[in-house]
Amino acid sequence: MDEGPCKSIQPRFYFDIDTQKCEPFDYGGCQGNENKFNTLADCEEMCLVERGKDPCQLEEDPGPCRSIIIRYFFSTISQKCEPFMYGGCLGNANNFLTLKQCQDICHHKSLNVPDFCLTPAEEGSCAASVKRYFYNSTQEKCQQFVYSGCGGNNNNFISKKDCRRTCMKGDKKESTKPKKRGIRIKKKNRGILIKAS
C-alpha cells in the first residue's frame, strides 16, 4: 500500500498480500502505486484467489510495483518453495513471507497428488444423502461430507482409507505401523501366520 505524497483523504482499498484480503486505506490523491482500488468489489475481483483454487498452483508473480522484497513461492516445476523478488504490491496468493510458511501450505504439492484432490467437496445435484469423504487441502486431511448421489467431482471417496490412499500419498499419518509380512501355510497348520524376516 502506498498512500502517495499528497494530503487528500480519499477512501480506497488495497490488497494485503500477507492477510490475503482487500483492506481499506486513505489515499492521498496522487502518485502511490497500482495497488489501489475505488471499491472493495474492484479489489476482490482483481486480487482474490477464487474459492477452492490452490494458491500453490499459481505462477510466480512479482506484481507491477518496483520494490525488492524477498518472498517465497511454490514452483510447480521444481515441486518446492523457492525465493523470488516481490515488487511490493498486487501479485497473487502464491507469495509467502517465509520459506517455512510456503512449505507448510504447499508441501502437499510435492507429493504429486492428483489435481482433483485440491478441489472442494461438491455435494452433487440429486436428492440422496450418501456418506462420502473428500480431501480438504486446506486442513490437509480427509473429511466426511454428504453426497447427493450424482454429479459432483472426483474428490469423492467411498471410504476415508480410499481418500487417504489417493490424496495423502507419503503422509506419515496414513500408516504408522509397519505392515505384517508373512506366509500362510494351508496344510497341517492351517491359519498360522509365520513371520518373514
pLDDT tens readout for residues 141-174:
899 999 999 999 999 999 999 999 888 764 444 3
52-111 CATH choice from 3.40.980.10, 4.10.410.10, 3.40.50.970, 3.40.630.30: 4.10.410.10
Domain topology for 115-167? Factor Xa Inhibitor (4.10.410)
CB 91 within 8 Å of CB 20: no
User: In this predicted structure, what is the pLDDT of residue 193?
Assistant: 53
Q: Are strands 182-184 and 193-195 parallel, antiparallel or unpaired?
A: antiparallel
User: In this predicted structure, what is the pLDDT of residue 56?
Assistant: 87
Domain boundaries, the chain: 1-48, 52-111, 115-167
pLDDT band (50, 70, 90) for residue 117: confident
How many angstroms separate the CA atoms of 96 and 74, rounded? Answer: 9
Cell of 124: 452433487
- 52-111 against 115-167: fold identical: yes
CATH no. of 1-48: 4.10.410.10
How many angstroms separate the CA atoms of 134 and 143, rounded? Answer: 6
User: In this predicted structure, what is the pLDDT of residue 72?
Assistant: 94
Specify the 3-state DSSP secondary structure of 41. helix
How many angstroms separate the CA atoms of 141 and 89, rounded? Answer: 33
pLDDT tens readout for residues 39-98:
988 887 777 655 557 788 888 999 888 889 999 999 888 778 999 999 888 888 899 989
User: In this predicted structure, what is the pLDDT of residue 55?
Assistant: 84
Beta-ladder partners of 14: 23
User: In this predicted structure, what is the pLDDT of residue 132?
Assistant: 96
How many angstroms separate the CA atoms of 74 and 54, rounded? Answer: 11
Task: Read off the pTM.
Answer: 0.43
